[in-house]
Amino acid sequence: MLALGGCATVDPYAAAPMMQHLDRDDAVGYCARLFADADRRVDSLGVRDAEAPRIEGFPYLRVDRFSAALAGRAKSAAQQDAWRTRLQQLDEIGRDTELSNAAVSIDDLPRCRSLLAAADAAAFQPLQRAAKVPDNYSSAMRTVGVYPLARLPFGAGVSRWQKETQSVFAAPIDALPVKGRLQNYVPRVQTFANVGPLAQDALGVPVLSRIDLDALLARHAPELQIDVDAPYDLPGALTLDADDRVTVDHAAPVAYTRLAYTVIGGLIHPQLVYTFWFSERPSRGEFDLLSGQLDGVVWRVTLDNEGAALVYDSMHACGCYHLFFPTKRVAARPLPATLDESLFIPQRVRRVEPHERIKLRIASGTHYLQRVQVISTSEASATQASATTTVPYMLQDERTVTMLGRRGDGTRSAFGPDGLVAGSERAERWFFWPMGIVSAGQMRQWGHHATALVGRRHFDDPLLFDAYFEIVH
């Protein structure tokens, strides 16, 4: 019952207008049945891509939280066309992954997607209502777990963790313990040029060319300083072993990147997301609930319209340990006193000037973030000059991990149809389930990161930063 409560989905073909299309004896009917057949094949092989769900009644379209938030902006014909285009692009991305992993090619899908969109052009309001992303919290689990009472000890635990984290960030950086040796990782491609001002589409979304995006990703890629005590502290590329289990190749350090968006004060801001993967979080003892295979650190940079940083934040790939690091260009909004997890700022960061870069200190084993520093070009150059302590890492599109090469032939996603990485389960899931998070502690795909044990909060919520911050200059 708990599993079903957390993972229940709807059949996107059981609602109008798609149900009506399936019975048509024309090109629209053919296209509706083609999509339905493709989905049956994908689901039978267990290769559904969970990042952006299909829309009920419009399964040739998909939606993420940002696109769902844009629905209310689509007033004019141009805005509605721009919004539909975003939903079509999300489906194209998801189906490319699914068909690759299913080893299936269906040439007619792009043409049929356009034909179905034209057939449903008049159904814009039903599409707006249906374009919703399911909550990553299970109300059924919270009900069975007596959440109103269970949240009290969990809230106390969150408070203790915040105090411990605050003390780490308050300590002099030279006083931080070192278990092994400090290893530096720097982006292989570097630039110190910002891009902007950025153009906007009909919905107010900043438009970035591939060249501009690559320049911004290189400009804001952080330098890592990791306490390396064992191979589990070495970041690397995700790969598959002979049994299709997800592992980490330490010989190929990679930061997996994506472009996201948030809204602050009614304006849409681009966000750069970097994910670093580690092979495991090692056990600290017989009853370590948090240890397990794979661990990931996610670093996000929220930008202004000219490509300069406003706010930084971080989490682990399980959705755990969400930290915020604002610059002086934003101010935290007054928030009501509540037991729910809210804005936690262990450190503020000064504005990063041209020819400066962010440097992150990461602990051994836990891979906890311990400090955010701003370093100058000369410091970065000095770091790179020390070949024995510096390793370059590559920037790579995060979507590549949804089509990893198999040892024999074909591809497979690092994530399952539920958005979770198989084999990365944590023992904490048996104790934390009353908080409503399915398999708490397990590594998960973008769009599936619930970041609050107490309350409800999603890492990809485009309105989160507007609730927490206002731009002051």
Please give the pLDDT value at position 454.
97
Asked whether the beta carbons of 312 and 325 are under 8 A apart, the reply is yes
Please give the pLDDT value at position 5.
45
Strand ranges inside 194-245, DSSP E: 199-200, 206-207, 223-228, 237-240
> Rounded to whole angstroms, how far apart are CA atoms 10 and 39?
13
> Rounded to whole angstroms, how far apart are CA atoms 42 and 40?
5
Please give the pLDDT value at position 2.
46
* Domain boundaries defined on the chain: 2-130, 139-471
* Among 261, 153, 149, 277, residue whose Cα is nearest residue 201: 261
Please give the pLDDT value at position 405.
96
Please give the pLDDT value at position 384.
52
Residue 175 token pair: 């006083």
Contacts of 350 (CB under 8 A, 6+ apart): 327, 328, 374
What residues in the chain have per-residue pLDDT under 70?
Answer: 1-10, 192-194, 377-388
Asked whether the beta carbons of 452 and 432 are under 8 A apart, the reply is no
Contacts of 139 (CB under 8 A, 6+ apart): 5, 436
Cα distances from 380 to residues 181, 224, 356, 375, 444, in angstroms, run 18, 11, 8, 7, 32
Please give the pLDDT value at position 382.
56
Please give the pLDDT value at position 387.
43
Phi, psi of 66, rounded to the nearest 5 degrees: -70, -45
* Among 215, 382, 238, 390, residue whose Cα is nearest residue 308: 215
Please give the pLDDT value at position 438.
96
Residue 309 token pair: 């940083």
Please give the pLDDT value at position 14.
82
Instruction: Say which residue the tokens 């110190």 belong to.
Output: 192
